[in-house]
Chains A and B, each alone.
Chain A
Amino acid sequence: MTFGCSIAFLLSAALTVAGALAAALLKNLVHCALSLTVTFAGLALLYLQLDAQFAGFAQILVYIGAVAILVVFAILLTRGAGIPEYRGFSSSWLLGLIIAAAIFALFGWAVTKSLPAQITASAAPAITVQSIGAALMSSYVLPLEIVAVLLTVALIGAVIVAMPESRITKSETRTGGGQ
């Protein structure tokens, strides 16, 4: 125990922050995407330590399994054409860094000053996947349906946005001719 933190917490927090820093600083975009995956894995470990098993495994499935792969695909699809893939930092990087540091200082101040010290974790909650499923089907059924519609709309929209334009105009003229 160091500063009241367990060793597992310190290791996964170090993994998370190191991955995020590497994503911020590395030059190769593919390396950035891979260190982002390390950050997602560290966050999943933190969720597991917080007894949120379902959220931890959902994090692994959704972020490591889908989002990281999607980012790698997007990086590989958008490079090339003779343009160097890495253009460095924007011209106002110092201002951005100052803003981020100020935000972190504000959050750190708020966390250390305003949190009552006597908050301690109660016993680990007895949350099973069955109870999560029952809650999703009863009290959270409306948000679940809205998220389902949102995911459908987002996926259809992403496909249409990324579709080659000649195919879109062709289908538009076809539907326009029918009207």
Chain B
Amino acid sequence: MTPLAAYLIVAALVFAIGLAISLTRRNAILVLIGIELMLNAANLNLIAFWRFGPHSSGHGDGLTGMMFAIFSIAVAAAEAAVGLGLAIAYHRHAKTTDLDAMTRMKG
């Protein structure tokens, strides 16, 4: 069985790449992609800790970590919908999704 640390390192790598994307790219949609990558890295951490932690011993039903990840997936989907809707709405006004050119939100 693959050790827990290997999963955590992969998650840290994905998180760092997502952070690098959202800090360095100039397109608003790519910044949203970076945020999605960071959320996914957090989900991988949750599920890895759930698998390696104690299930069903002690209190709880042994499902908490996975439930956290599933709710996190749902919230990430809502975030993606709203963020991409904002990008499309801004593009309709200003004809750009370049973050250096997006200096005002007023229509």
Contact present for B73 and A135 (CB under 8 Å): no
Chain A window 128-170, contacts with chain B (Cβ cutoff 8 Å), 1 for yes, 0 for no = 0001100110011001000100110011011101101100000
A21-72 at interface with B (beta carbon < 8 Å): 21, 23-24, 29, 32-33, 36, 39-40, 43, 46-47, 49-52, 54-55, 58-59, 62-63, 66-67, 70-71
Contact present for A147 and B74 (CB under 8 Å): yes
Question: Which residues of the partner chain A approach B78 to less than 8 Å between Cβ atoms?
Answer: 150-151, 154-155
Contact present for A99 and B30 (CB under 8 Å): no
Contact present for B36 and A90 (CB under 8 Å): no
Interface size class, chain B: 35 or more
Chain A residue at minimal CB-CB distance from B63:
A135
Contact present for B61 and A139 (CB under 8 Å): yes
Contact present for B96 and A83 (CB under 8 Å): yes
Chain A window 67-104, contacts with chain B (Cβ cutoff 8 Å), 1 for yes, 0 for no = 10011011101100101011111111101110111011
